[in-house]
Structure 1
């Protein structure tokens, strides 16, 4: 493999197209295959919609109020708890409770679903005691769809780095993490799409040793009996002036949780090492929140 050209591997997982670009390794094809296999493993394990997944069988269909977590799941939920706290509870993996209620009764209105789900959701609905995940409400359901893709990206990054890859770009459906820079020392240039026309690039950013995710509500919707809303679920809805939020952070998991939370509450404080770009309802780009008061 020529050192200045990447080995490119493409596949589809977690409902999105995935691309892995690897530089600087003669074993790039084997590493890319390992990344794909691990991504598919995570998809099977944590799939909210699969009756056979660990998430469904062991956690969401639990018989008691606690579940013993394996080492990997413990890391996932420890990280989730930190992200929930860091976003003041706006990012909420118990949103699966809403989806579970809707699946049981599609005639429920939006207000009815949120009222019924309220006791099942939120930061106080679950906690960790050692390796035990403790859940106070029997009907609480966890949906990790908003984090496992990013977790898989971070694992792909770690795998590539541990096996000697000198530079890499991991892109799962527009959520991206970059290792190093290109062999010519240029940063990877990453495009962010127009929220009103996702087939068109709107702006681009240089990335090196960082992750980028974009949260928006132009692709998927949630249907209640009385209205259709963004797939990003919150009792107060997504902010009407925010069409999309792009976040650059050290890890894909952190970037994804923050970008999702900021579509709901764009005034949330973010860590110093995190960069944020908003696209407003007039298709204007902002790096601060002054536009919210204009």
Structure 2
């Protein structure tokens, strides 16, 4: 059957608008399957929900060893692998900082001094099907990765029966195949100063793209406001937006977040990135911009 127009499905999940573009004969059902799976992941890994698996099983654990399901184990193993490539800059134990912030009276310095001994790759590990967390105070927050996992899983659901797929969950994007006319999908990246406009665009061919930006949301400490991308020092004055192209949305998302914290981080050579500074200068490691 010849498909003349793509099927587009939109919904809200994980606090962002989600859009799936499908070129497939069974596109409507695929779209519903993707939405259902995205909501399942949101419910399972919600740091702020008292009933999520992440909260009840992991962050409210009664001992240092927790048996986890295969999906959670596989996600955490990938997160650990990619976090190590960032030299630990990307850190899911930032949930420890968020937990301490709930009292609302701590300065940035106080929060990080209290949390630092209980954060980082050294305080948690995976042994077979068991998560090991060394300290009771440590909290894991997968908010920085689960949207990207949802993008990757959405593409896996769709690509087996689709000629072309474009998944866009709040700017976390993955493409497979091509558009109806056979050309690549082209993605625009937001201008941080004029967010209704694109600063640049690039084609995606069986690739993922994520953008991490300091301007998007804010985090309040008792003494100051900072980027929602939490780090012991606020770095938003150096680089305000980072776009990364990689093989998976999970890898791209971890790398783009880490680069907003340390723009000088050395990343694997197969990963493309573009850093945008406050003057809207674009610094890139490859000629992938249109």
CA RMSD, 1 decimal = 1.3
2:276 is paired with a residue of what secondary structure?
Answer: strand
Instruction: Indicate the residue corresponding to 2:179 in structure 1.
Output: 182
Aligned residue runs from structure 1 range 212-291, under 5 A: 212-238=209-235, 240-288=237-285
Instruction: Indicate the residue corresponding to 2:19 in structure 1.
Output: 19
Instruction: Indicate the residue corresponding to 2:145 in structure 1.
Output: 147
Instruction: Indicate the residue corresponding to 1:52 in structure 2.
Output: 51
Once residues 268 and 116 of structure 1 are traced to their aligned partners in structure 2, the CA distance between those partners, rounded to angstroms, is 26
Give the stretch that moved more between structures: 271-280 or 55-64. 271-280
Is 1:160 the counterpart of 2:161? The answer is: no
Instruction: Indicate the residue corresponding to 1:84 in structure 2.
Output: 83
1:101 is paired with a residue of what secondary structure?
Answer: helix
Asked if 2 retains the 8 angstrom alpha-carbon contact of 1:247 and 1:275, the reply is yes
Shift of 1:237: 2.6
The correspondence for 1:127, drawn from 125, 128, 146, is 125
1:22 is paired with a residue of what secondary structure?
Answer: strand
Q: How does the TM-score come out when normalised to structure 2?
A: 0.96
Once residues 226 and 196 of structure 1 are traced to their aligned partners in structure 2, the CA distance between those partners, rounded to angstroms, is 26
Asked if 1 retains the 8 angstrom alpha-carbon contact of 2:210 and 2:252, the reply is yes
Asked if 2 retains the 8 angstrom alpha-carbon contact of 1:250 and 1:273, the reply is no
1:197 is paired with a residue of what secondary structure?
Answer: coil
Asked if 2 retains the 8 angstrom alpha-carbon contact of 1:84 and 1:90, the reply is yes
Once residues 119 and 241 of structure 1 are traced to their aligned partners in structure 2, the CA distance between those partners, rounded to angstroms, is 27
Q: Deviations over 1:55-112 (max 9, x none)?
A: 0000000000011110100001100110111110000000010000011x10111100
2:131 is paired with a residue of what secondary structure?
Answer: strand
The correspondence for 2:105, drawn from 104, 107, 121, is 107
Q: How does the TM-score come out when normalised to structure 1?
A: 0.95
2:19 is paired with a residue of what secondary structure?
Answer: strand
Stretches of 4+ aligned residues off by more than 3 angstroms:
none
Once residues 239 and 90 of structure 1 are traced to their aligned partners in structure 2, the CA distance between those partners, rounded to angstroms, is 15
Once residues 58 and 234 of structure 2 are traced to their aligned partners in structure 1, the CA distance between those partners, rounded to angstroms, is 27
Q: Deviations over 1:227-284 (max 9, x none)?
A: 0000001113325221100000010000000000000111111112210011111111
Once residues 203 and 285 of structure 2 are traced to their aligned partners in structure 1, the CA distance between those partners, rounded to angstroms, is 19
Aligned residue runs from structure 1 range 20-35, under 5 A: 20-23=20-23, 25-35=24-34
Asked if 1 retains the 8 angstrom alpha-carbon contact of 2:68 and 2:131, the reply is yes
1:90 is paired with a residue of what secondary structure?
Answer: coil
Once residues 238 and 75 of structure 1 are traced to their aligned partners in structure 2, the CA distance between those partners, rounded to angstroms, is 31
Instruction: Indicate the residue corresponding to 1:292 in structure 2.
Output: none
What are structure 2's unaligned runs of at least 5 residues?
A: none
Asked if 2 retains the 8 angstrom alpha-carbon contact of 1:239 and 1:266, the reply is no
